[in-house]
Amino acid sequence: MMPQDNSAGQSDIFLGQLAIYRLLPTFKRESAIDRAIANLSLSPEEINLALQQFQQRYQLTTQEALQNYCRIYNLTDQLLQAIALREFKVEKFKQQTWGNRLESTFLNRRATLDRAVYSLIRHKNPELLQELFFRIQAGEQSFHELASLYSQGVETQTGGMIGPIPLSKLHPLMAEKLRNSRPQQVHPPFLLEEWFVILRLEKFLPAQFDEQTKQILLNQLFEEFLQEPSATPIGNSPTQTPN
């Protein structure tokens, strides 16, 4: 009798366990990353740089910190190096794939990268908010003080101030008001989903084509690539990706 091949069954069990642990999407994503970087090679200089950057990123600059990290994650020296090189390859893949198109991508997406620092007071009682708005306008009490006393969100801990945050991550109505505001302009109460809100722009931060923005764009393009069907087949590389 021929021995049975249990590899398929073991694979099904493994995938089933990942599904139960709700780790299957993460596993699929990481597998897609492995396929994307499979053909990348690193020079000896890049390997040394990868290890240095990894240690700096995770504050593993002492032997004790390095040993503790390996102990916590049950890593051998070989596995630790593999992780460091993999992270470096991911960044190299991003640069090779989209690095020469970042400026055009920035111009296309600039409006979504603008940020703002703003303050708000939110409450479910519109009459109360109208009274607070009048107090602010009359200079009877500061926005900061009233937000700390009356706002019903986590912003009470900061006197109502939030940000900087990309406008693209805000409710469209709030983003529009902030984009068209002058610094320190206070908007009277308006309905925002289940809340009534008083909004004030503190500072508008137009997107700049700097290193931080370049990294944000690279990360966005990479995540979009991973969501495409083209990221699934082995050996496939992105030839056309969105700007």
Q: What is the pTM of this model?
A: 0.73
**Backbone conformation region of residue 38, classed left if phi is above 0, alpha if psi is from -120 to 50, else beta:** alpha
9 or 55: which leads in pLDDT: 55
Residue 82 burial (CB count, 10 A): 12
In a domain? residue 53: no
237 or 19: which leads in pLDDT: 19
Cα separation, 61 vs 125, whole angstroms = 53
Residue 81 burial (CB count, 10 A): 15
- Number of structural domains in the chain: 1
In a domain? residue 71: no
In a domain? residue 10: no
Q: Report pLDDT for 239.
A: 43
Radius of gyration, alpha carbons of the chain: 25
Q: What pLDDT, in 10s, does the model give residues 110-129?
A: 988 999 999 999 999 999 99
Q: Report pLDDT for 7.
A: 64
In a domain? residue 161: yes
In a domain? residue 51: no
Q: Report pLDDT for 12.
A: 83
In a domain? residue 157: yes
In a domain? residue 49: no
In a domain? residue 19: no
- Domain of residue 152: give its range: 111-205
Mean pLDDT of 45-74: 96
Those residues whose C-beta lies under 8 Å from the C-beta of residue 148, and which sit 6 or more positions away, are 156, 159, 160
pLDDT at position 234 over 50: no
Range with lowest mean pLDDT among 35-49, 102-116, 223-237: 223-237
Find the CATH number of the domain harbouring 136: 3.10.50.40
